[in-house]
Structure 1
C-alpha cells in the first residue's frame, strides 16, 4: 500500500520537468502544482473534469514538445474513452501520470472505483505501455526514464487520499491560457 500523497508525486515530477508542457487536472491537483512550481508551461485545468488527458493528447498530436499530463483516477474513470483514443493515436511525446488515490480528492475524497478497476490493465488493453508505482523511488525512476524515451507512457502512481492546504490559483483563467500558449507557440 502506497503512502505517497498527490503533492509528493507532483514534487517528484516537477523536480525533473524542464521544458516539457504540463497539463494538470482540475481542483487540488492544479492548486498543488501551482504551489510546487508555477511556470508558464503549466496549464491549470479550472473546469472540465475528465478532460486533462484529452487536452494533453491534443497538444501531443499538434506539437513536437514533450507533454506531461497529471490526471486523477476519478477523472480518467469519468472519461475512460480517452485511454482508448490515446492508445489508438499513440503519440510518442505524451506521458500520462494518473494519481490513483481511489478518491475524488477535490470534492471531499469520496471513493472511486479503482478499488476494483485496475487502470494499468485498462491502459494496457488500449495498447499503451503502462506501469503502476507505489513508492517515490519507483516513481522517480520510471518518470526519469519516460522523459528520455520517445514513446507513449502511462504511469499510475498510487497515493493516499490527501489534499495539501494550498492557496487558490490567483491567475485569471484567460491569463493562464495565453501565457501557456505563448510559452510554446512561436509567431
Structure 2
C-alpha cells in the first residue's frame, strides 16, 4: 500500500480530531483526499510536525493526530523523547514509513535497517503499535491515558496530486478557528 491509500484508510476513521500533516507530498495527498479545517498542512520545517503536534496537545483537550514520515522522524528523533516525557494523553503520532524521502525523489532512508517501534519504546512511549495489527477506529474511540506511537509501513511512491491551493495564512487561520471550536 502506498502513502495515498494509507492516508485514505486513516481518514476513514477521523471525525473532529485535529491533524498535523508532514511537509511535501503527505500534506498534498491529505489535501486531495480530505481537505478540512481541522487539517494543518506543513509547508516547511521538515522534522517538526511531531513537535507542533506536541505543543498543540499540551494546550488543549482535543485529540491530536500527527502524520509524519520516516525521514522526518529520523531528522528529529529528540522529539520522541520529549513527547514520551510530556506524555499528553490526547497525542497520536502515526509514522508513515516508506523507507524513503518521498518528497525529494524517494532517496532511501535508514528505516529499512532501523526499527522505529523499538526506538519509540526506548524513548518512553508506552502505547506503541503497528498500524496493521490494531483497529484504528477502536483506538480513536478510547480515552487513552498515554501518548501513542503508531508505525505504518508502506511502499514508496507519491500520488499524482496537485499543490495545496491555500495560502499559508489561509491554512493557519482556518486551523486556528478549528482549534478554538469545541
TM-score range, shorter chain: over 0.9
Q: Corresponding residue for 1:179?
A: 174
Partners of 2:172 and 2:25 lie apart in 1 by: 18
Structure 2 unmatched runs, 5+: none
Rounded to whole Å, the distance in 2 between the matches of 1:174 and 1:146 is 33
Deviation at 1:146, TM superposition (A): 2.2
Query: How far does the alpha carbon of each residue in 1:127-186 deviate from its partner, in whole angstroms, 9 at most, with x for none?
Result: 1121224x4xx46x1x21321222321110001101000010000011100100011215
Residue 130 of structure 1 pairs with residue 128 of structure 2: yes
- CA displacement 1:106-143 (0-9 Å, x = unmatched): 0000000101111000000111121224x4xx46x1x2
Which residue does 2:21 correspond to in 1?
24
Task: Give the counterpart of 1:80 among 66, 77, 84.
Answer: 77
Mapping for residues 54-73 of structure 1, pairs under 5 Å: 54-73=51-70
Paired with 1:173 and 1:146, the residues of 2 have a C-alpha distance of 32
Pick the aligned partner of 1:10 from 4, 7, 12.
7
TM-score w.r.t. the length of structure 2 is 0.95
Paired position in structure 1 for 2:147: 152
Query: Once superposed, which parts of structure 1, at least 4 consecutive aligned residues long, lie more than 2 Å away?
Result: none
Unaligned runs of 5+ residues in structure 1 are none
RMSD over aligned CA atoms reads 1.3
**SS of alignment partner, residue 48 of structure 1:** coil
Matches within 5 A, 1:72-111: 72-111=69-108
Deviation sequence 1:65-107 (CA, Å, 0-9, x none): 1001000000000000000001101110011000000000000
Please state whether the residue corresponding to 1:155 is helix, strand or coil.
strand
Number of residue pairs the alignment of both structures matches: 179
Measured in 2, the distance between the counterparts of 1:115 and 1:132 equals 15
